[in-house]
Chains A and B, each alone.
Chain A
Protein backbone atom coordinates (compact mmCIF):
# COMPACT_ATOMS: atom_id res chain seq x y z
CA UNK A 1 0.00 0.00 0.00
CA UNK A 2 1.36 3.36 -0.98
CA UNK A 3 0.86 6.17 1.47
CA UNK A 4 2.45 8.72 -0.82
CA UNK A 5 0.95 12.15 -1.07
CA UNK A 6 2.73 12.97 -4.30
CA UNK A 7 -0.52 14.01 -6.03
CA UNK A 8 -0.99 16.78 -3.47
CA UNK A 9 1.20 19.35 -5.20
CA UNK A 10 1.88 22.79 -3.69
CA UNK A 11 -0.84 24.13 -6.01
CA UNK A 12 -3.34 21.58 -4.69
CA UNK A 13 -2.26 22.31 -1.11
CA UNK A 14 -2.74 26.03 -1.73
CA UNK A 15 -6.32 25.50 -2.93
CA UNK A 16 -7.42 24.22 0.48
CA UNK A 17 -9.42 26.91 2.22
CA UNK A 18 -9.68 29.01 -0.90
CA UNK A 19 -13.08 30.64 -1.25
CA UNK A 20 -14.62 31.02 -4.70
CA UNK A 21 -16.79 33.99 -5.74
CA UNK A 22 -20.37 33.85 -4.44
CA UNK A 23 -23.18 32.75 -6.76
CA UNK A 24 -26.79 33.91 -6.39
CA UNK A 25 -29.46 31.18 -6.52
CA UNK A 26 -33.09 32.10 -7.15
CA UNK A 27 -35.75 29.87 -5.58
CA UNK A 28 -39.07 30.21 -7.40
CA UNK A 29 -42.31 28.21 -7.52
CA UNK A 30 -41.89 26.91 -11.11
CA UNK A 31 -38.40 25.61 -10.27
CA UNK A 32 -39.71 23.88 -7.13
CA UNK A 33 -42.55 22.21 -9.05
CA UNK A 34 -40.26 21.14 -11.89
CA UNK A 35 -37.73 19.66 -9.47
CA UNK A 36 -40.41 17.86 -7.42
CA UNK A 37 -41.96 16.46 -10.61
CA UNK A 38 -38.57 15.27 -11.91
CA UNK A 39 -37.89 13.39 -8.65
CA UNK A 40 -41.42 11.98 -8.60
CA UNK A 41 -42.85 13.57 -5.45
CA UNK A 42 -46.61 13.20 -5.03
CA UNK A 43 -46.77 15.35 -1.88
CA UNK A 44 -48.88 18.34 -2.98
CA UNK A 45 -47.04 20.63 -0.55
CA UNK A 46 -44.46 21.15 -3.33
CA UNK A 47 -47.06 21.95 -6.01
CA UNK A 48 -50.07 23.69 -4.44
CA UNK A 49 -49.77 26.97 -2.53
CA UNK A 50 -53.03 26.28 -0.65
CA UNK A 51 -51.69 22.96 0.63
CA UNK A 52 -48.40 24.65 1.54
CA UNK A 53 -50.27 27.34 3.54
CA UNK A 54 -52.36 24.67 5.32
CA UNK A 55 -49.08 23.00 6.33
CA UNK A 56 -47.70 26.24 7.77
CA UNK A 57 -45.55 27.52 4.88
CA UNK A 58 -46.06 31.08 3.65
CA UNK A 59 -45.10 30.00 0.11
CA UNK A 60 -44.12 26.74 -1.63
CA UNK A 61 -41.35 25.04 0.40
CA UNK A 62 -38.25 23.74 -1.38
CA UNK A 63 -37.89 19.93 -1.34
CA UNK A 64 -34.84 18.47 0.46
CA UNK A 65 -31.74 19.26 -1.60
CA UNK A 66 -33.31 21.95 -3.80
CA UNK A 67 -31.54 25.27 -3.31
CA UNK A 68 -32.68 27.20 -6.34
CA UNK A 69 -31.25 27.88 -9.77
CA UNK A 70 -27.95 29.75 -10.15
CA UNK A 71 -28.10 33.09 -11.92
CA UNK A 72 -25.73 33.06 -14.88
CA UNK A 73 -25.05 34.73 -18.18
CA UNK A 74 -24.11 33.04 -21.46
CA UNK A 75 -20.42 32.25 -21.50
CA UNK A 76 -20.02 32.39 -17.73
CA UNK A 77 -17.66 29.68 -16.45
CA UNK A 78 -19.08 26.98 -14.18
CA UNK A 79 -19.35 28.54 -10.72
CA UNK A 80 -17.14 27.35 -7.87
CA UNK A 81 -14.02 25.19 -7.97
CA UNK A 82 -13.36 23.24 -11.19
CA UNK A 83 -14.40 19.58 -10.94
CA UNK A 84 -10.99 18.51 -12.25
CA UNK A 85 -7.60 20.00 -12.99
CA UNK A 86 -6.36 21.06 -9.54
CA UNK A 87 -3.62 18.58 -10.39
CA UNK A 88 -3.31 18.74 -14.21
CA UNK A 89 -2.08 15.12 -14.34
CA UNK A 90 -5.52 13.92 -13.23
CA UNK A 91 -7.86 14.36 -16.19
CA UNK A 92 -10.88 12.34 -15.11
CA UNK A 93 -13.38 12.95 -12.34
CA UNK A 94 -16.19 11.16 -10.53
CA UNK A 95 -18.80 12.41 -8.10
CA UNK A 96 -17.93 10.75 -4.78
CA UNK A 97 -20.88 11.83 -2.70
CA UNK A 98 -22.96 14.70 -1.38
CA UNK A 99 -24.54 15.67 1.92
CA UNK A 100 -27.08 18.47 2.45
CA UNK A 101 -27.84 20.04 5.81
CA UNK A 102 -31.00 22.13 6.08
CA UNK A 103 -30.84 24.74 8.81
CA UNK A 104 -33.88 26.84 7.83
CA UNK A 105 -36.74 26.03 5.47
CA UNK A 106 -36.15 27.53 2.02
CA UNK A 107 -39.26 28.96 0.33
CA UNK A 108 -40.28 30.15 -3.13
CA UNK A 109 -39.18 33.77 -3.49
CA UNK A 110 -35.93 33.28 -1.58
CA UNK A 111 -32.72 34.64 -3.06
CA UNK A 112 -29.76 32.67 -1.74
CA UNK A 113 -26.06 33.45 -1.90
CA UNK A 114 -23.89 30.34 -2.29
CA UNK A 115 -20.23 30.46 -1.30
CA UNK A 116 -17.94 27.48 -1.92
CA UNK A 117 -14.57 26.56 -0.43
CA UNK A 118 -12.36 23.51 -0.72
CA UNK A 119 -12.17 22.15 2.83
CA UNK A 120 -10.14 18.96 2.44
CA UNK A 121 -7.97 17.10 -0.08
CA UNK A 122 -6.92 13.49 0.51
CA UNK A 123 -4.95 11.06 -1.61
CA UNK A 124 -6.02 7.43 -1.82
CA UNK A 125 -5.12 4.35 -3.79
CA UNK A 126 -8.28 2.81 -5.19
CA UNK A 127 -9.26 0.22 -7.75
CA UNK A 128 -9.00 2.96 -10.39
CA UNK A 129 -5.45 3.87 -9.31
CA UNK A 130 -4.17 6.77 -7.25
CA UNK A 131 -6.77 9.49 -6.79
CA UNK A 132 -7.50 12.76 -5.05
CA UNK A 133 -10.63 13.10 -2.95
CA UNK A 134 -11.50 16.79 -2.99
CA UNK A 135 -14.18 17.87 -0.52
CA UNK A 136 -15.86 21.22 -1.03
CA UNK A 137 -18.38 22.90 1.22
CA UNK A 138 -21.00 25.34 -0.02
CA UNK A 139 -22.85 27.62 2.38
CA UNK A 140 -26.23 28.98 1.25
CA UNK A 141 -27.28 32.23 2.95
CA UNK A 142 -30.55 34.20 2.90
CA UNK A 143 -29.34 37.64 3.89
CA UNK A 144 -27.00 36.99 6.81
CA UNK A 145 -28.73 33.75 7.80
CA UNK A 146 -27.30 30.36 6.80
CA UNK A 147 -30.16 28.23 5.47
CA UNK A 148 -28.25 25.20 4.20
CA UNK A 149 -24.84 23.68 3.59
CA UNK A 150 -23.67 21.17 1.01
CA UNK A 151 -20.59 18.97 1.40
CA UNK A 152 -19.61 17.35 -1.87
CA UNK A 153 -16.65 15.11 -2.69
CA UNK A 154 -15.16 15.01 -6.17
CA UNK A 155 -12.75 12.22 -7.11
CA UNK A 156 -9.96 13.16 -9.54
CA UNK A 157 -7.92 10.30 -11.04
Chain B
Protein backbone atom coordinates (compact mmCIF):
# COMPACT_ATOMS: atom_id res chain seq x y z
CA UNK B 1 0.00 0.00 0.00
CA UNK B 2 1.23 3.46 -0.81
CA UNK B 3 1.90 5.78 2.08
CA UNK B 4 -0.74 8.39 2.73
CA UNK B 5 0.67 10.64 5.45
CA UNK B 6 4.29 9.71 6.14
CA UNK B 7 4.23 11.50 9.49
CA UNK B 8 1.78 8.98 10.96
CA UNK B 9 3.17 5.81 9.42
CA UNK B 10 4.65 3.10 11.55
CA UNK B 11 8.02 2.46 9.97
CA UNK B 12 8.74 -1.19 9.28
CA UNK B 13 12.05 -0.55 7.47
CA UNK B 14 14.91 -1.28 9.88
CA UNK B 15 16.62 1.78 11.34
CA UNK B 16 20.40 1.38 11.75
CA UNK B 17 22.52 3.17 14.30
CA UNK B 18 25.01 4.17 11.57
CA UNK B 19 22.44 6.44 9.97
CA UNK B 20 21.63 8.49 13.06
CA UNK B 21 22.97 11.76 14.43
CA UNK B 22 21.95 13.99 17.35
CA UNK B 23 19.04 16.18 16.37
CA UNK B 24 17.41 13.61 14.07
CA UNK B 25 13.63 13.38 14.46
CA UNK B 26 11.88 10.01 14.58
CA UNK B 27 8.52 9.44 12.82
CA UNK B 28 5.58 10.95 14.68
CA UNK B 29 2.86 8.71 16.16
CA UNK B 30 -0.53 10.42 16.28
CA UNK B 31 -3.19 9.33 18.76
CA UNK B 32 -6.71 10.55 19.42
CA UNK B 33 -8.33 8.65 22.29
CA UNK B 34 -11.99 7.72 22.33
CA UNK B 35 -13.71 6.94 25.64
CA UNK B 36 -13.79 3.36 24.32
CA UNK B 37 -9.98 3.31 24.19
CA UNK B 38 -9.79 4.61 27.77
CA UNK B 39 -12.09 1.77 28.90
CA UNK B 40 -9.96 -0.76 27.00
CA UNK B 41 -6.87 0.65 28.74
CA UNK B 42 -8.58 0.52 32.15
CA UNK B 43 -9.24 -3.19 31.62
CA UNK B 44 -5.78 -3.93 30.25
CA UNK B 45 -3.90 -1.98 32.93
CA UNK B 46 -6.18 -2.52 35.93
CA UNK B 47 -6.48 1.25 36.55
CA UNK B 48 -10.15 1.84 37.31
CA UNK B 49 -9.97 5.42 38.63
CA UNK B 50 -13.36 6.91 37.68
CA UNK B 51 -11.99 10.12 36.10
CA UNK B 52 -11.09 7.99 33.07
CA UNK B 53 -14.56 6.63 32.25
CA UNK B 54 -17.27 8.24 34.43
CA UNK B 55 -17.80 11.74 33.05
CA UNK B 56 -20.21 12.74 35.85
CA UNK B 57 -17.62 11.80 38.44
CA UNK B 58 -14.86 13.64 36.56
CA UNK B 59 -16.96 16.82 36.42
CA UNK B 60 -17.94 16.47 40.08
CA UNK B 61 -14.31 16.92 41.09
CA UNK B 62 -13.78 19.92 38.83
CA UNK B 63 -12.39 18.33 35.68
CA UNK B 64 -13.77 19.41 32.30
CA UNK B 65 -14.45 15.78 31.36
CA UNK B 66 -12.78 12.40 31.03
CA UNK B 67 -8.98 12.43 31.33
CA UNK B 68 -6.51 10.26 29.38
CA UNK B 69 -4.60 7.93 31.76
CA UNK B 70 -1.01 9.04 32.29
CA UNK B 71 0.13 5.44 31.98
CA UNK B 72 -1.59 5.18 28.58
CA UNK B 73 0.40 8.19 27.40
CA UNK B 74 3.53 6.47 28.67
CA UNK B 75 2.51 3.36 26.73
CA UNK B 76 2.06 5.52 23.59
CA UNK B 77 5.69 6.61 24.01
CA UNK B 78 6.63 2.92 24.35
CA UNK B 79 4.84 2.22 21.07
CA UNK B 80 6.51 5.23 19.45
CA UNK B 81 9.99 3.88 20.16
CA UNK B 82 9.08 0.20 19.62
CA UNK B 83 7.67 0.94 16.16
CA UNK B 84 10.78 2.94 15.34
CA UNK B 85 13.33 0.26 16.37
CA UNK B 86 11.40 -2.86 15.22
CA UNK B 87 12.09 -5.47 14.08
CA UNK B 88 15.83 -5.60 14.84
CA UNK B 89 16.15 -3.23 17.80
CA UNK B 90 14.78 -3.17 21.32
CA UNK B 91 13.55 -0.65 23.86
CA UNK B 92 15.92 -0.57 26.85
CA UNK B 93 14.47 2.26 28.93
CA UNK B 94 11.56 4.64 28.46
CA UNK B 95 9.64 6.94 30.70
CA UNK B 96 7.93 10.28 31.06
CA UNK B 97 6.70 12.94 33.45
CA UNK B 98 3.05 13.92 33.65
CA UNK B 99 2.97 17.71 33.40
CA UNK B 100 -0.45 18.34 31.91
CA UNK B 101 -3.78 16.61 31.40
CA UNK B 102 -4.98 15.42 28.00
CA UNK B 103 -8.55 14.63 27.04
CA UNK B 104 -10.27 12.21 24.64
CA UNK B 105 -11.16 13.65 21.23
CA UNK B 106 -7.95 15.65 21.06
CA UNK B 107 -5.01 14.92 18.81
CA UNK B 108 -1.90 13.83 20.68
CA UNK B 109 1.33 13.99 18.70
CA UNK B 110 4.04 11.68 20.06
CA UNK B 111 7.53 12.50 18.84
CA UNK B 112 11.19 12.06 19.63
CA UNK B 113 14.60 13.55 18.90
CA UNK B 114 17.94 11.73 18.92
CA UNK B 115 20.11 13.12 21.73
CA UNK B 116 23.13 10.80 21.71
CA UNK B 117 24.49 7.69 19.97
CA UNK B 118 26.77 5.52 22.10
CA UNK B 119 27.88 1.96 22.89
CA UNK B 120 26.99 0.37 26.24
CA UNK B 121 26.78 -3.21 27.56
CA UNK B 122 27.86 -4.58 24.18
CA UNK B 123 25.03 -2.84 22.31
CA UNK B 124 24.73 0.16 20.02
CA UNK B 125 22.42 2.48 21.87
CA UNK B 126 20.57 5.70 21.14
CA UNK B 127 19.30 8.16 23.75
CA UNK B 128 16.17 10.05 22.77
CA UNK B 129 14.18 12.97 24.11
CA UNK B 130 10.48 12.19 23.77
CA UNK B 131 7.37 14.33 23.98
CA UNK B 132 3.64 14.25 23.64
CA UNK B 133 2.13 17.49 22.40
CA UNK B 134 -1.51 18.10 23.27
CA UNK B 135 -4.13 19.76 21.10
CA UNK B 136 -2.63 23.25 21.46
CA UNK B 137 0.91 22.11 20.67
CA UNK B 138 2.14 22.42 24.26
CA UNK B 139 4.14 19.47 25.62
CA UNK B 140 2.02 17.78 28.29
CA UNK B 141 4.25 14.73 28.61
CA UNK B 142 8.03 15.05 28.25
CA UNK B 143 9.99 11.81 28.32
CA UNK B 144 13.23 10.04 27.52
CA UNK B 145 14.21 6.67 26.13
CA UNK B 146 17.25 4.54 25.41
CA UNK B 147 16.99 1.98 22.61
CA UNK B 148 19.40 -0.60 21.20
CA UNK B 149 19.76 -0.78 17.42
CA UNK B 150 21.70 -2.94 14.96
CA UNK B 151 24.48 -1.44 12.86
CA UNK B 152 24.82 -2.06 9.14
CA UNK B 153 28.21 -3.66 9.75
CA UNK B 154 26.92 -6.15 12.31
CA UNK B 155 24.20 -7.68 10.12
CA UNK B 156 24.67 -11.40 9.84
CA UNK B 157 22.55 -11.68 6.69
Contacts and interface: CB of A to CB of B under 8 A. Distances in A.
B partners with A: yes
A153 B71 CA distance: 12
Interface in A116-157: 151, 153
Contacts, number: 90
B44 A35 contact: yes
Interface stretch (B15-23, B87-95, B131-139): B87-95
B124 interface: no
Interface residues of A, number: 29
B40 interface: yes
Interface string B94-109: 1111100000000000
A39 B96 contact: no
A65 B75 CA distance: 7
A64 B95 contact: no
Contacts of A99: 93-96, 144
Contact of B97 (A45, A55, A63, A97): A97
Interface string B37-58: 1001101111000000000000
27 contacts: A35-B44, A37-B44, A38-B37, A38-B45, A39-B41, A39-B75, A39-B79, A40-B31, A40-B76, A41-B79, A42-B10, A43-B83, A64-B82, A64-B91, A65-B74, A65-B75, A95-B70, A97-B97, A99-B93, A99-B94, A99-B95, A101-B92, A101-B93, A102-B91, A102-B92, A102-B93, A153-B97
Interface of B: 10, 31, 37, 40-41, 43-46, 70-72, 74-76, 78-79, 81-83, 86-87, 90-98, 144
